[in-house]
Structure 1
Amino acid sequence: MTEQPKGPAGYFPSIEQKYGRPVAEWKDLIRSSPLTRHGELVSWLKAEHGLGHGHANALVAHTLAEDGGK
C-alpha cells in the first residue's frame, strides 16, 4: 500500500483532476507572477484562474516552501 502525501501535496491529485493542468504548470504560473505574498497569490489564483481557496492555498504554500519564501 502506498502512503498518501501529507500537507499541501495531498491536494495535488484533486487539483490536477479538477482544473485539468499539472501541478508543475500551476507552480510555474505562481513563480512567474509579480506577486510575492502568500495571500496575494492565493487571491490571484482564485480570481483569475477560478481555483477554490483550499487548492490555491495548497499550491502557493508548497511553491513558496520549495522556493524558500520566494
Structure 2
Amino acid sequence: MAPTKPHGPASYFPSIEAKYGRSVDDWFALMDGAGITGQKDLVNWLKTEHEMGHGHATALAQFHLNPGKWQR
C-alpha cells in the first residue's frame, strides 16, 4: 500500500522547505528558541522576522503547537 499524502499543515512542508531553504525541523527549533507560545504571535514572528508568507507561517505554527494532531 502506498503511503498516504500528508494532510493539514504538513501538506505545506515540502514547499516551505523549498522556498525558505530550511527543513521544518530547523523551523521548529527556531520557534522553540523564540519562546513564543501563542499561535497568532508565532505566526507574526515568522512573518516579520523571517519574511514568511501567512499560509506557510500558519502551517508551521499550527503543527508546532499541536504536533500530535497531524501526520507528517
In 2: Cα distance, 1:3 partner to 1:27 partner: 23
In 2: Cα distance, 1:24 partner to 1:56 partner: 14
In 1: Cα distance, 2:28 partner to 2:35 partner: 13
Segments of 5+ residues of structure 1 without an aligned counterpart are none
Cα-Cα RMSD: 1.8
Report the TM-score when normalising by structure 2.
0.86
Amino-acid identity (%): 49
The equivalent of 2:55 in structure 1 is 54
In the TM superposition, residue 35 of structure 1 has moved relative to its aligned partner by 1.6
SS, match of residue 4 in structure 1? coil
Query: How do residues 25-40 of structure 1 correspond to structure 2 at under 5 angstroms?
Result: 25-40=26-41
Report the TM-score when normalising by structure 1.
0.88
In 2: Cα distance, 1:34 partner to 1:2 partner: 34
In 1: Cα distance, 2:34 partner to 2:5 partner: 30
The equivalent of 1:65 in structure 2 is 66
Segments of 5+ residues of structure 2 without an aligned counterpart are none
Give aligned pairs, total.
68
In the TM superposition, residue 34 of structure 1 has moved relative to its aligned partner by 2.1
